[in-house]
Every structure is written in structure tokens, then in C-alpha cells.
Structure 1
Amino acid sequence: MAQVFMKRAEVVAMVGLGYSTIWRLERAGKFPARRKLTDYRVGWVRSEVEGWIQEREAVPQLLAA
């Protein structure tokens, strides 16, 4: 299956965090890494970002158990 890449604005809108916060999380290894698509364009793999969101949604459930 082909990977679908997301632009920065799409990632920001999807996760509800600012770009600076995403950048810091990415640098700390706590957010999916961007991929270099061309010399001037980067993108995030949609399935990785969706997986990161699902992990965040699972945390409150784990704490409640």
C-alpha cells in the first residue's frame, strides 16, 4: 500500500497542536519524524500520525483501569 504524506498545515490541524510543539515532540522522538520529499518539501506519513493520535487516545483508558 502506498504511503500518503501530509503537509505541515494538515498535521497541525489533525493533531490540534502548534507547529513549534510538534517540532519539539519530533526532536524528542515523541512524534513521528517528517520525511524529506524534495529539496524544499517535507511531509509526514498519514498512518504514523494517525497511530500517534490513537496512542494518545488510549492513555486515559489505561489510567482509568
Structure 2
Amino acid sequence: MPKNKTHSGSKKRFRVTGSGKVMREQTNARHYLEHKSSRRTRRLAMDQVVAPADVKKIKKLLGK
């Protein structure tokens, strides 16, 4: 059987940690930042763990 291709959009949006967690960036951190507080922009800069319900689907798209 041929190898499955990695989903291009997913590989740009998600990463898998060494322990197997799937991480994503937060939304609302790209523009209109002058209206958002410094506290909020710092919080938005941190990566988040993907919800458990979506992990299986995302790992399949990433070929993991």
C-alpha cells in the first residue's frame, strides 16, 4: 500500500510534543492588537493543548 500524505493545512497549524500531546496556537492574536490589553496578548501568545475529542482526528491528518 502507498504511504498516506500529511494534510498540508494541518502540519502548519498543529505540532505533536514528545509526550504525544497535540498543540495549537490561540486565535485572536494576529491583528487589532492595539485594542487588546498587554495581559491578553501575552496570554494569546502561548500555545494550547488541543481538546481531547479532536486529538485522534488531527493525529490522523498529521500521519502520526
Per the normalisation by structure 1, the TM-score is 0.22
Q: Considering Cα pairs closer than 8 Å and 6+ residues apart, tell me whether 1 or 2 has the greater RCO.
A: 2
Q: Which has the larger radius of gyration?
A: 2
Which of the pair is proportionally richer in helix? 1
